[in-house]
Each structure stands twice: as structure tokens, then as C-alpha cells.
Structure 1
């Protein structure tokens, strides 16, 4: 083979005009990256690798579903489109895969850079007119942790003294965090020795596994992710994440939604009261209610509440009150759980012909009413409107994002360990989904549509 002495080669001419990275590149502005990271780099010594190059490589990995950093470095070395996106010439050196680990656990995490990168994509989506801000949807999805199921101990034994590592240190740091260790007083069934913050869960039809939860708050117009939060896999932590994301979105982007769409896990009385009374948001959420009965006796819905008299009227016409007598020492109206007990008089129930259908086993009927029942009633009234039916269909958008996250971006299992590792992966994945969303909704001008 006769080799030419000189070559005229341009990577620009070998990247297809309709390539996904060309469409994404228009929305990636990392101009302020170096200034943001300046305090974390030394002015002396050997020059460090350009942080913009590593961020662009991470964007490629999460947009293209390349989960391995070692394989990502190989792909950037070989693929012309990847080199073009990273601003590398043919002779440009690709960083070693170990460099990503050092920066992820060091400079990037200390500077909260990946959170800033995600917020940059949200700001760009808002600038492109893809965020309406009128309605949000929220949900959580389980992501498997990078641990072995059998390397664990029972939860009541606690973590052994010899357990060590970065993930163990992070676990000890978040024990008082309401999104992780302090999310619930219930002791976990098992604790993993490799990543103790991962939660043992049997919430799916599959065999139980260790996981983290990624929480999405999306805008309903074009399913843009406006916030993301990593938590342990319990319902209380997911409800707390919803509150954090709404407050952070209001503070960071000035978005005040009129309604929030979610499933029953977010329909507890305190959460509905927080949405209605504190935030002024309409809850398009099914009410979490266990008052229904399966023994054909009267349910709470068969009783009529009288707001003026603060009492319930039973089907027999008798009243149930919070107290049927006066006490020398006034008793609190509600218990520690936030419920008021309305009781009927024993003589009223004993002489009633409907007693067998109302309270066949007890002397008198009792009704539980939450102190936040007004917010629950509002959610029930919304559930009877046509707008609620539309919201039920719109809620599927967040489920589709989770399906895209696991099937297309291949994030069905974490590669980083510890709460901080989960945060890093979830922020990068959400940023990649927003970039792909903009590339789809705002195609390159001049390209013929398929």
C-alpha cells in the first residue's frame, strides 16, 4: 500500500448533519465552567485535564447509554462524531478512565458541578419555550444499587465495626438526613456492607434487591425535567423529595405551578395540606384513604359532616361528636397522628335499628377525621372533574421518562456507590434527557423532516 505524504482531513465534514450530537451541541454552553471550577484547581504544577472535555465526554456517555467509563474513553478515541463533540482533533489525547473517578469524587462533587450542569439544561429549556410552568407531575422510580445481594447483615445487628470505604462514610453522614437514614423510623430488614445507604426493597414483582430512588419533577407541557432528587427507597422520603423539588424550583427558576399531578403515594393528608394551604397548588392526586369497609357496613362516606356544628350525622339521623361530655381537664381535639375521633352515644347506637349495618361489634360507632380534611375534600372534588381525567393521562409522561431512562440510557443499575454517587448519576441522566428533549423538539434548521 502506497501511503500519502500529506492528508487533508476535516472531522467536521465526516459528522452527519442529522447526527444526534450535532443537535445536542447547540444547547451545550460550558463557557463559565472553568471559572466555576477555578478555586478547585491549583495554579502551579502540571496542567490538569480540561474539565469541559470531561463534562462533554460524560454527556456523550449518558446520552448514548455508554455506562462504562473505560468503554466511553475507547469510544471517544475511535468515533469521529464523539471527537467532534469533545473538540478533539485526530491527534487529541483522550483522558484515562481513572481521571473521571478522581474528579467525580473530588472537584466535581465539592463544587456541585453536576447539579449546576443539570440546572443549565433547565434554563436552556425555559429559554427555548419548552417549560410552561402551569402544571407539574412528580414520581419516583427504583434504580438498582451496585451491590451483591448476599453481602449483607440483618438490620437489627447494625453495621459491623470493620466496615469501611467511601460508601460507608457517606452512609454515616446521611443518617440524620430525612431523605436517607432518617426517612422512616422503621428499621431496614437488611443492611448491605458495600453500600449501606442502599435500601432493601421488595416493591416490585421481582426478587427483593437493594436500590435508590430517583425522583423527577417534570413540566407537563413537554415533559421537561425541572428538578431531580436522589433518596432512599421509601414512600416518606419520596414525599419529602417532592417538597424539596417544588421549593427549589420556585427559588431557583421562579416557577409556581397551578397544579401537581401524582399517584396515591403522595395523597396523604399532611402532604395534601402542604400543597393546598402552604403552596396554593391544586392537588390532582388520589386521596390516600383507608376508610372503606369490606364487610358491607356503613363507610365514612355514608356519614354527612356538618361544618357549623362540627359533627357527623349518621344514616339513622344521630350525631357523632368529638366529645360527648365535659372534662375538667380539656383534652386535645386531635391525637399525635393528626386525627380527630368523632363518637356516637352508646344509648343512640343501642336503640338504633341500623346498628347491625353500622357497628355490629362495638357499642358505639366512631369516625376518624383528619385535621387536614379540608385539603382531602378539595382533592376529592378535583377527582370528579374533567381536568382530573386529563391529568391522569398527563401523569404517564413521567412514567415514560423512567422507561426511557432504563431502556434507552441503560440506567437500570447504578455504577457509582453511596448517596453522592446516586446523586451524580441521577443529575447527569436528567441533564442528558433534557438535552435529548431539546434536540427532538428544536431540530436543526434546514434539515428535511423524515
Structure 2
């Protein structure tokens, strides 16, 4: 018997948002870990609003804001406007953020303004560190064996915006740059002044940033992440900073560690800096017409071979960030905003990896 094509809506319902989310949904464990990290940031959140003048439109609760930003990364939502549109009708999104069925959705411009407050107080960096702290407590980090690498991030700016610094021409006028010698010393992008014209390997020159990560070799979790201007020295300089940051976050600034890396890090200055920081440089030797700076005593060790194999795990984070997290070409401008999105994306990647690890049997530190 064919049923009638009718639509009947109840005036009241006794069901909660929790009832609409399956018990085994992947977001349940991710939300639990994210909330545990956010709970440790209460003092930071309180300080963000202490100096502000009372009155006016209430700001977005920072915990809800960060959960919404996580959804934007996890579900590849391109903009705040699209995110707010989906939150309007998506019960799963409302549940994850912490909005009831009757709560009004934020205006996208207010949402964007509140993100600036998070940048000012380094809230996303603190959230990332708390997520790493959860992984450490669950024995998912070795704390001793790391890998480092960098990746190019295409800026939200085109070639036509890259003009001479003293040129007042509007980029929208579409001026031609063919046959013109351009460099970062004499030119800059009028759309995104922080971006740099850069190429690496066989890639074409584009306006870019450079993202860097330090991954733990145990399970490939990201221990530190940062975005810098794109240049030929950025990878090695960022590696030094991330090593120090990871040690501080793990609570042992003097621990001896190993660091795996590709041939781009095989420079005498970097190898010597690693030794001074009590870091054993398991860097791939570059012997193409030159002598490697990595000592043979290190290159012939058993740990070196393991590090060279494990360092490839770092590419999984870059691949996820670009295919899922939208970091292939960012839709924000400015170094601080790009850095915020990159660090948040790596925090989301860690949460996804940690959810998978949580389904396995408990692991003991090695």
C-alpha cells in the first residue's frame, strides 16, 4: 500500500540534539578530547575579556568559536558565511559547537571579528599545545624522536597584485607584468603584503607562505607547527624554533632527541646548531656534487635508518591539511591569520589521528 505524501510537524518535541547523533559517530570522541583541551584554557579565556568595556553585543563564547572553527577544518567548509549557513540547519554541527535548536546563528562578520581576538591572545596555539598534552598523557608520543619538514602554502593573492612597492596602480586594473624582472626586494602584493613570490624545485613561482611541522615519530602526531614567510632559509630556522617549543611543551628542555629531515636540511650551519641543542641530526645526506655535513658515524647508525623511514609520516599531515583542511590555498590574508589557520588545522589533524589511536589497545611508552 502506497503511503500518503504528506508532511506533519509536531508543535513540541522531547528529543535532544544528543539523540540525533549516533553513538559511534567519529565526532563524539573528537569533541570529548577538544572539550578536555578547552577546559584547561579557562583562565586564558577569562583574561581575554577582562579589559573590555561592558555593554554592546555579546561576543561569541570562545569555546564555541573554537569548536566551530574545528568544524570548518574537519568538513572543508570554505568560508565563515558557508559555515554559519550550515550551522543554521545542520543538527550535528549545532551539537558539536554547543548550540541548542533554538539558538540564533552568529552573523558571519561578528564571527570573523571574534577570530581576531583569538589571534591577539594566541588562543589557537594554546589549544594546539593542550591537544598535544592529551596525546602525551595517553602515551602516544615518544618525546625523543622527531621529524621536521616544510610545505608551500599558496596565498590568497594573484600575480597581478604583485607590483613595485612604489607603484600606486590598482591591482584590479590588470596591468601586464610580462617581460618585467620582479623580486621580493622591489615588489610586493597589494592584496597580501606578507606573501612572497617563491618557487621550490620544479614548481612555478607563486605568491606563497611556508608551513612547517615537527612530528613525533611514534605515531606521526604533530608536536609543533608554524607558518613563516617563504624563503630559502625558513625551513631550517623554523626547525630550530619548533624543537625548542616542543621541548618546552613536553616539559623537558634538556632532553636529548633525534631529528629526521630531508636533504634540504643538510647544511653545516644547521647540523652544528642541532648538536649545540643536544639534537642528533638524522638528516638525509646530500652528496650531489658536495660533501654532506652529516657525519658518517651518524649516517651509519641503526637509529638513522629508522628515522629516515619514519620521517615520511610527516607528509600525511601535509596531505590531510591540503586536501581536507583547505591549506593548499588559504582564504585568509596576512601572516598571523595564515599561521592561525595552519596551527588549527594541525590540531584538527592530531584529533583525527588520536581518535583512531583511541580505538586501538592502550599503548605503553617505548
TM-score exceeds 0.5? yes
Larger Rg: 1
2:28 pairs, out of 12, 22, 26, with 22
The alignment's C-alpha RMSD in Å is 2.5
Contact 1:23 1:443 in 2 (8 A): no
Q: TM-score, normalised by structure 2?
A: 0.85
Structure 1, unmatched stretches of 5+, are: 164-185, 293-299, 301-372, 446-450
1:67 shift after superposition: 2.6
**Can you list the C-alpha shifts for 1:49-76, whole angstroms capped at 9, x where unaligned?**
2221111100111122223111111122
Q: Determine helix, strand or coil for the equivalent of 1:284.
A: strand
Q: Give 1:287 deviation, angstroms.
A: 3.8
The residue number in structure 2 matching 1:244 is 241
Aligned residue for 2:80?
69
User: Is 1:98 matched up with 2:109?
Assistant: yes
Q: Give, in whole Å, the separation in 2 of the partners of 1:152 and 1:146.
A: 12
Match status 1:10 vs 2:10: no
After TM superposition, the runs of 4+ consecutive aligned structure 1 residues lying more than 6 A away are none
The alpha-carbon distance between structure 1 residues 118 and 382, as it changes in their structure 2 partners (threshold 3 A), is same
Gaps of 5+ in 2: 1-6, 171-182, 362-366
Structure with higher helix content: 2
- Contact 2:41/2:126 (8 A) holds in 1: no
Match of 1:395, SS? helix
Question: Which residue, out of 19, 41, 57, partners 2:68?
Answer: 57
What is the rounded CA distance, in whole Å, between the counterparts of 2:32 and 2:91 in structure 1? Answer: 18
Q: 1 CA distance for matches of 2:166 and 2:340?
A: 25
Question: What is the aligned partner in structure 2 of residue 442 from structure 1?
Answer: 358
The 5 Å alignment of 1:155-304 reads 157-160=164-167, 187-188=184-185, 190-255=187-252, 256-276=255-275, 278-288=276-286, 291-292=289-290
Shift in alpha-carbon separation, 1:152–1:88, aligned structure 2, 3 A: same
Equivalent residue number for residue 315 of structure 1? none
CA 1:264–1:3 in structure 2 vs 1: closer, same or farther (change >3 Å)? closer
Is the 8 Å Cα contact of residues 189 and 200 (structure 1) preserved in structure 2?
A: no
Structure 1 residues 159 and 395: CA distance shift in structure 2, 3 A = farther
Distance 2:237 2:212 in 1: 10
Question: Alignment partner of 1:22: what SS?
Answer: helix
Question: What TM-score do you get using the length of structure 1 for normalisation?
Answer: 0.70
Aligned to 1:139: 149
Partner SS, residue 227 of structure 1: strand
- Count of aligned pairs between the two proteins: 337
Is the 2:80–2:111 Cα contact (8 Å) retained in structure 1? yes
Query: Is the contact made by 1:158 and 1:191 (CA closer than 8 Å) also made in structure 2?
Result: yes
Deviation digits for residues 178-198 of structure 1 (CA, Å, limit 9, x no counterpart): xxxxxxxx9557421211221
- Give the Å deviation of 1:43: 5.8
Q: Distance in 1 between matches of 2:44 and 2:288?
A: 51
In the alignment, is the contact (CA less than 8 A) between 1:159 and 1:191 conserved in 2?
no
Matching of residues 271-420 of structure 1 within 5 Å: 271-276=270-275, 278-288=276-286, 291-292=289-290, 376=293, 378=295, 380-420=296-336
- The alpha carbon displacement at 1:136 in A equals 0.4
| Alpha-carbon distance change, 148 to 240 in structure 1, aligned in 2, over 3 angstroms | same
Where does residue 135 of structure 2 map in the other structure? Answer: 125
Inter-CA distance 38–140: structure 2 relative to 1 (3 Å threshold)? same
- Return the alpha-carbon distance in structure 2 between the equivalents of residues 17 and 444 of structure 1: 18
